[in-house]
Amino acid sequence: MAKSSTKPSTHHYDAIVVGGGHNGLTNAAYLAKSGLRTLLLERRTFVGGAAITEELHPGFSFTTFSYALSLIRPEIVQELDLVKHGFMPLYMRSSFAPMDNGDYLITGPDREENLNEIRRHSRADADAMERFEFDLSRVQQFVKPLFDNMAPNIFSGAPEDQEQVAWMLKHLGSAPPKVVHDTVRLLFGSIADFVEDYFESEIVKASLASPAIVGAKLGPMSPGSGLVFLYLAMGEHDGALGAWSFHKGGNGGFTQVLARAAQSFGCEIRLDSAVSHVVTSGGRATGVVLEDGTEFTAPVVVSALDPRRTFTELVDPLELPTDLVDAIRRYRFTGMASKVNFALDGPPVYPGLEGRTDHYQGFINVAPTIEYVERAWDTAKYGWYSERPYLDCSIQSFIDPDMAPPGKHVMSCFTQYTPYHLKHPDGTPANWDDERDNLGDVVQRTLAGFFPGFDDLVLHREVVTPLDIERTTGLSEGNIYAGEFLAQQMYFFRPAPGYSDYRTPIEGYYQCGSGTHPGGCVIGAPGRFASQQVVKDLAAKGAKKG
Amino acid sequence: MRIKTTPFYPRLVELNHTGLWSHWAGHLSATRYDFSAKYEYFGVRNAAAYFDASPLFKFWIRGRDAEHFLARAMARDVRSLKPGRAQYTVWCDDEGFVMEDGVLFRHAADEFMLTAAEPNLSHLRTLARGKQVEIVEVSEDYAVLALQGPRSRAILEPLAPEIADLSYFSFTPAKVAGHPVTISRTGFTGDLGYELMIPSDDALDVLDALIEAGEPHQLRPFGEEALNMARIEAGLPLIGAEFTSARYAYNDAERFTPTELGLGWLLRGIDDDSRPFVGRTAIRRELADKTSRWATVGIAVDQAAYFELFDSHGVIPVMDEIPVPWETMLYDDSGERAGYATSLMYSPMVQRYIGIARVRPELAAPGGTVHVEETVNHEYLTVPAEITSLPFFNPERKLA
C-alpha cells in the first residue's frame, strides 16, 4: 500500500491537491508528470476515497464502496504508464439475472450463446438484442467525443470558447437523425420506454434497464433514467463498449496503482492530513491549512472534493459570485445507494444450477422485472428504503481469487433504494444508525429468496449506508457520483453553468472531483482535464511574465 | 479412421463447452474450453490453468555418447546442464538456420529427454549414426499437462511436496495420486508454472486429483488461443508463427538464424572450439560479418493513435486479444519496409496491441518507431508502434 512520502522538506509546492480519491490522484499524477512539485493531501490513513479495498474480516477483502471498473479512460492508463505500476483489470465474463419463478438469464462472452439464452425467453428478443446493441453503439460513438473532451463554455464570448461551441454544434449536426433522436430519447426519456421499444421478455428488459437507476434518485420508468444508462454504457473494458472489469485487488488495488504512478512522477502524498481550508489572498489561492494547523503554500490548489465542499467548505462562499454559490446550493446530491458486503463460507447455490459457478464470473443482477425495480423506487420516493431492493452483486473472489481464502468468497452487493434523508412510511423521522442492521437483513433476506441457504454461508457482513458513505468518504449526502446525474447537472452545467472548465472564480483554485464533467464513477477524466487546465494557465502566466 | 485423442481427452471433452478443437500433431487439441479465450488467459495470469500438451513429441536420448551427441546436434551447449535441470534449445542446419526448438531434460549423466513440437526421430538418428547413443521416440507413452499461473504452486505442492523448492527449469520425480510423474518448473506462458509428464495410463487419475485440488483456486483448463496469448506476452517464439522449420523452407526468406529469431543468447560459448555443433561455422561467420538480416523485437502499438485511426474513419476500434494468424507489414518513418510482425494481439495485461516482430537490424533499438499496417474501410493505413524489448510481461513470480 502506498505510504506517506518522506517528510516534506519544505512547506512550499507548485501545486497542492486536496483529496486522495481517484480523481485527486489522477490530477496529482499529471501535475507531477508535467514537472510541478506536487503535494497530495489525504484526510484518511490511506488513499483511494470511495475506491478502496479493506480487509474487514481476516483473509477477506472488501470493496467497501465502488466495486468495478469500466469508465476509466484508456488514455490515462497509457499516459500515466499505469501498467508499469500494476494496473490489471480482470475480465468479468458473465452476467446472471435470477427470476422470481426460478428461471434466470445468463449472458456471457459468446454472441450466439447469448442469443440462444435470450431465445429461451423470447424468440423475437434475440434479434431485437442485436438491433438494440447496434443502435446503442451508434449513440455511444456519437456521444464519445463530447465525453472525451472538456465541455465547451457556452456562456462565454471568448474566441477560444466560441471555437469549442462551434465544434460541438458541428458535431451535433454530423450524425444521422435517428442517432441524434435515440440520444435525446436516452438523455431525457425513461429507460423503461427505451427498452420497451425493442423487447418483450421481462427479464431481458429488466436486465438491460435496471443499471439505469444505479446511484440515481429515479425509477426505471422516470424520465431521465435513460441518461444514467447511457452514462454507464460509455465505459469500456479492453475495447468492449459497456463492458466492466474488476481490478486486481478491487478498486483499492486500482487507486494504489494510481498512487504509485503519482509518486513515480515525484508527487508527494501526505496521509492523515485533513485540510481545514484553502488560504486565499486578494482573490487568489495561496495554499491550504490542515485541521492541525499545519500550513502549506502553493500558487495552485486543486480540490478533488465534491462541489459542495469545494465551494462552500474549503473556501468562504462570500468570496465567490452569488450565482455560483446559488447554483451549488441547488446542486442535487441525494444519496440513494448503499453497499452490503458479505464474507461467505462458499458459493451461493441457485436451484437448478447446483454444481455450476460459471454464472458467478461477473455481475449478479437482482431485478427480475422493471416493475420490481420501480416498486423498490416507490418506497424510496417517500423516504423509506425498499423492502425488496434492487441489487447489483458480484462475487469478486470468483474473478480475483486473492480476494478471499481458497474456497471462500466475498460478495459485494450494491443496494438500492436507500434514501439518505430517511423517514418512516408514517412520516416519523428515522436515522441510518438505527436502520443499518435492518437494511443488512433486508438485503440478506432478498438474496436468501433467490439463493436458499444463503444465511448459512454468511461469515461476516458489512453494511454501508448513505450516511456511512458520507462520513467515511466525505461525499455529500453519500451521493456516489458527487452530484446526481440529471441533465441540468451534466456537461457544461457540471457543477454549475459557466463553471465547468475546472477553474473557479478564485485564481489558482481548481476543481477536479467527480462533480465536474465527465465525472461520476471511476473515470479519471475530471482529474486529467483539470490538470490540463492548470498547466495551460501556468503556461499563459509564464508567457505573460516572460 | 478417426483423429487420435490424448490420454486426458475423456475428461477434457466433458469440460470443452465450445466443442472447438484443432489438430495438433495428429491429436485433438482444444481451441478453447470456455466461450472466452480471454477468461482462460486470465486463469493463467491471475489464478491457475492447465493445458494439455500431450501431443508434444518426446524422445529418450541415452547412452555413453548422449552428451557428446547432443552437444553437436544442438546449438545450445548441453555440457553444463546438470541432472535434474532442463534447457530450452534449438537445432540448426549446416547453414546455421534454425530447424526446430525444444526442451531438453537431463535425467542423468547419460540420459536425456527431448520434447519438441514436430517429429524429429529420423533427423536425430541420422546425426547420431556411429555413436553410442540410443534414441527412442516415446511420444504416446507420456501425457503432458502444463499447470500455469500464480496459484499453480499452491495447488500442486499439497499433492507433490517435492516441488516446494523446485527452481525455474529444474525438474523432479514425484508422486501424484499414487502415480509416478516428472514435474518440471517449465511452461510456455512466461508465468509461474509447472509441467507434469505422466505415464499415459495414469494421466486421468492425476488430472482428476489436480482438478479437485484446484477447485478452491479457480483452476480452469485453457486451450490453444489462450496459450498463444500468454506466449506472445512472454515473447516466446512459436514454430509456424515466428518461424518455419529450415528443413521444409524452399528459400532463404523462409529460414532464420538463431540470432535473427532473437535467440542469440543460446549461442553462449560459440567460440569454444571444443564444440563443433551443426551450423556453428555458418553462425560464426554470420556473427563476424554481421550478416543477420533481421532482429526480433517487440512492438507496442500507440493506443491513442489506434483509437484516432478508427474514430476518424467512423469505425469503432476493436481490441482483439486473439492473435492474428498472418503477418502484418511494418514500415519505417519514410514509408520503406521495416519488417513484419509475426504475432500481433491486443494484450489485456499490457493494455495495448503488442506483437513479436522482425525488423531490419538497424531499427531494433528499443524506443524506435515503426508503422503497423492496419486495414480501415478497405484501405491500407498505418498506426505507429514503439519498438520494445521482449518479453512484454515478466512477473517476478516466474522465477521466485
CA distances from A438 to A376, A391, A435, A463 (A): 16, 16, 5, 10
CA distance A362 to A245: 8
Tell me which residues of chain A have a C-beta less than 8 Å from any C-beta of chain B. Answer: 74-75, 77-78, 82-83, 87-91, 93, 108-110, 113, 137, 140-141, 144-145, 238-241, 248, 358, 361, 398, 400-401, 406-407
Cβ–Cβ below 8 Å for B348 and A407: no
The answer to whether the Cα torsion of A55, A263, A526, B310 is positive or negative is negative
Mean predicted confidence (pLDDT) in A32-46: 98
pLDDT at A7 > cutoff 80: no
Q: Tell me whether strands B220-221 and B49-52 are parallel, antiparallel or unpaired.
A: parallel
What is the average per-residue pLDDT within A490-495? 96
pLDDT tens for B213-241 read 999 999 999 999 999 999 999 999 999 99
CB contact (8 A) between residue B304 and residue A93? no
Per-residue pLDDT tens digits for A382-435 = 999 999 999 999 999 999 999 999 999 999 999 999 999 999 999 999 999 999
* Phi/psi at B10 (5° precision): -55, -35
pLDDT of amino acid A543: 79
**pLDDT tens for each residue of B365-393:** 999 999 999 999 999 999 999 999 999 99
The structural domains of chain B, ordered by start, are 9-54+140-222 (3.30.1360.120), 64-132+257-293 (3.30.70.1400), 295-396 (2.40.30.110)
What is the pLDDT averaged over residues A437-456?
Answer: 98
Residues of chain B below pLDDT 50: none
Q: Which amino acid is at B326?
A: W
Burial category of B219 from C-beta neighbours within 10 Å (exposed 0-12, middle 13-18, buried 19 and up): buried
Which of A90, A109, A400 is opposite residue B36, by nearest beta carbon?
A109
- List the helix and strand counts (H, then E) for chain B: 9, 19
Instruction: Please name the residue of chain B whose CA is at the shortest distance from the CA of residue A358.
Output: B34
* Residue-level pLDDT at A217: 97
pLDDT at position A544: 73
Q: Given pLDDT bands bounded at 50, 70 and 90, which one contains residue A239? A: confident
Share of chain A above pLDDT 70, in %: 98
What is the pLDDT confidence band of residue A2, given thresholds at 50, 70 and 90? low
Tell me the residue type at B169. Answer: F
- Quote the DSSP letter at residue A69: B
Global ipTM: 0.94
Query: Residue A410's beta-bridge partner residues?
Result: A343
**Alpha-carbon gap: A348 to the closest alpha carbon of chain B (Å):** 14
Contact B39 A91 (CB under 8 A): yes
Residue identified by cell 452530484 is A483
Q: What is the dihedral of CA A484, A486, A488, A491, to 10 degrees?
A: 80
Assigned C-alpha cell, A181: 433522436
Q: What is the mean pLDDT of chain B?
A: 97
Residue B386 distance to chain A (closest CA, Å) = 13
pTM: 0.95
- Name the residue among A75, A90, A145 with its Cβ closest to that of B42: A90
Across the A/B interface, how many CB contacts are shorter than 8 Å? 75
User: Of B271, B19, B52, B284, which is closest to residue B145 (Cα–Cα)?
Assistant: B52
Residue A78: list chain B partners with CB under 8 A.
Answer: 303-304, 351-352
Q: What are phi and psi of A119, to 5 degrees?
A: -60, -30
- Order of all β-strands in the sheet with A363-366: A104-107, A95-98, A363-366, A390-395, A409-416, A337-344, A458-464
DSSP secondary structure letters along B77-119? --TTPPTTEEEEEEEE-TTS-EEEEEEEEEEETTEEEEEESS-
Which residue, among A441, A477, A484, has the nearest Cα to A214 in the 3D structure?
A484
Mean pLDDT of A379-384: 96
The percentage of chain A sitting over the pLDDT mark of 90, rounded to a whole number, equals 95
Q: Which of B38, B215, B217 sits opposite A91 (nearest CB)?
A: B38
A127 pLDDT higher than 70: yes
CA atoms of B87 and A360, how far apart (whole Å): 40
CA distance A190 to chain B (A): 26
Q: B320 to chain A: which residues are within 8 Å by CB?
A: 239
Question: Which residues, 6+ apart, have CB-to-CB distance to B288 below 8 Å?
Answer: none
Cα–Cα nearest to B351, from A358, A370, A247, A165: A247
Q: Does residue A9 surpass a pLDDT of 60?
A: no
The secondary element (H helix, E strand) that includes residue B296 is strand B295-301
| Burial (CB count within 10 angstroms: exposed 0-12, middle 13-18, buried 19+), residue A365 | buried
Question: Is-contact A135 A205, C-beta < 8 A?
Answer: no
